[in-house]
A and B are shown apart, each in its own frame.
Chain A
Amino acid sequence: MWQVFSENWEFFLLGTYPRGPIGGLAMTLIIAVVSLAITFPFAIGVALLRGSKSVWVRRACEAYTTLIRGCPLLMLLLWIYFFLPQLLGFPLSPFTTLVIAIVFFQTAYLSEVIRGGIEALHKGQTEAALALGLKRWMIIWKIILPQALYNVIPGILNQFTSVIKETSLAYVIALGEVTYSASQVNGILMTRPMEVYMVLAALYFVLCFSLTQIAGLLDRRIARNRSAVR
């Protein structure tokens, strides 16, 4: 297994870069970071709209999260891959296709995490801000969101590990990230699939394990800070 990695590490980590396009684990990380960065503001938006005064807005957001949570990402990816270019009238790169799918999918989950953070806040925070005369959006922006997001940092990190695993679906639309790299290495070596896919597993494990460790650490620290408040 070590031999397979040491002989092909550049391909596992970077794909054909610098001779060709960047790929491998680097691509996996790029997809995950870009997707999460776009997901984040959308998720905040949906989380806030679920507390909207309008029943219809609340219902629409609820319908969206329920629907998305009831369908597999792979199906969503195929829909976007085949239907969206027809609707738009121009082709989408595999990268864009995957990012759109993940953003659409993860917004539903991440908004639930953030909503949990908002609802966990003591209602006295809003009341104190109202009593001072702060406007609604100012209360959300300056009082509610900073506290809610801080409290759900571990949840957001855990969601990030999910995104990393989901990027492996890039394989089905021939986008060269780390799973795709592994299958190519396997195709060249032909005889050592076991070792190749053990390397792949190890790469995912190291990445996700370190993220969950950080999340756990932050979770304990945040819990400590919170108990100090009251």
Chain B
Amino acid sequence: MISIQSLNKDFGAFRALSDINARVEKGEVVVLCGPSGSGKSTLLRTLNRLEPITTGRIEIAGVDVNSRGVDINKLRQKIGFVFQQYNLFPHLTALDNIVIGLTKILKMPRDEATKRAMALLERVNLTRRASNYPAQLSGGEQQRVAIVRSLAFQPEIMLFDEPTSALDAEMIGEVLALMRELAATGMTMMCVTHEMRFAREAADRVWLMEKGKIIVDTDKAAFFNSHPNERVQRFLSSIN
């Protein structure tokens, strides 16, 4: 589903991503972890071309993301992206945050779009919040709206960039529950997170990054059950 080949990304003289080679199969849930500044978010952002790459190749469902001919907006509809800061549109209601994409991008009639958006809000128990503005919602509610806003396009891949880092402790659970539920439906997912709870419960694989490189790419069981790599041990002890 996702294939990354010899990917390099520079910010000026700083090499943010260095010779990344990796694959994600359909239906896999991959958790990216590592110390801050290791390039996790940058890697995630190159996948839907929010961040241009320096050299290398990224293929999503067989399409070269960075080729000139690619219809990037079409491709982005297949890739849901969830931000740390939710990034809901503050001038639109929760409902309209979802509807705007459906009517403007998919050219769906407004009532059909509203129906689909309401169904999504119901899925995350937020129908009563439909006409509220983002500022009136809690962080957890905002993030759940942001997640279903991406799901409205029925994407094939969901990317999460530290989805719970900006949330108060009591709201992390509701967002992780939604993500677990999504993982259980067979969605291909990549998630940058420090929540090892989520990794233990829902991940198939774990990538550990350091200084722009993937230093460990292994399945979950191996990662958490006395992985021989001492850097994995150091990382696990540093976050616990």
Contacts and interface: CB of A to CB of B under 8 A. Distances in A.
Q: Do A and B associate with each other?
A: yes
Interface in A159-218: none
A124 B87 CA distance: 6
Interface string A74-99: 00000000000000000000000000
Contacts of A143: 89
A105 B18 CA distance: 51
A55 interface: no
A127 B50 contact: yes
A143 B105 CA distance: 14
Given A138-B104, A228-B135, A132 B76 contact: yes
Interface in B162-191: none
B152 to A, nearest CB: 9
B132 to A, nearest CB: 12
A57 to B, nearest CB: 22
Interface string B75-108: 1110111010101111100000000110011000
A122 interface: yes
B73 interface: yes
B153 A124 contact: no
Interface in A96-140: 122, 124-125, 127-135, 138
A150 interface: yes
Q: How large is the interface on B (under 10, 10 to 19, 20 to 34, 35 or more residues)?
A: 20 to 34
Nearest to B82: A131
A150 B135 CA distance: 15
B83 A128 contact: yes
B76 A125 contact: no
Contacts of B74: 133
Given A124-B85, A127-B83, A229 B105 contact: no
B105 A133 contact: yes
Nearest to B149: A132
Contacts of A146: 91
A176 B135 CA distance: 49
Contact of B48 (A124, A131, A150): A131
Given A130-B76, A132-B149, A142 B87 contact: no
A130 B150 CA distance: 12
Contacts of A128: 81, 83, 87-89, 146
Interface of B: 48, 50, 73-77, 79-81, 83, 85, 87-91, 100-101, 104-105, 134-136, 146, 149-150, 153
Interface of A: 122, 124-125, 127-135, 138, 142-143, 146-147, 150, 225, 228-229
Given A124-B87, A132-B149, A228-B136, 9 more contacts: A124-B83, A128-B146, A129-B89, A131-B150, A133-B105, A134-B105, A142-B104, A143-B89, A146-B91
Question: Would you list the 8 A-B pairs with minimal beta carbon distance, nearest first?
Answer: A128-B87, A131-B81, A133-B76, A124-B87, A133-B77, A133-B73, A228-B135, A229-B135
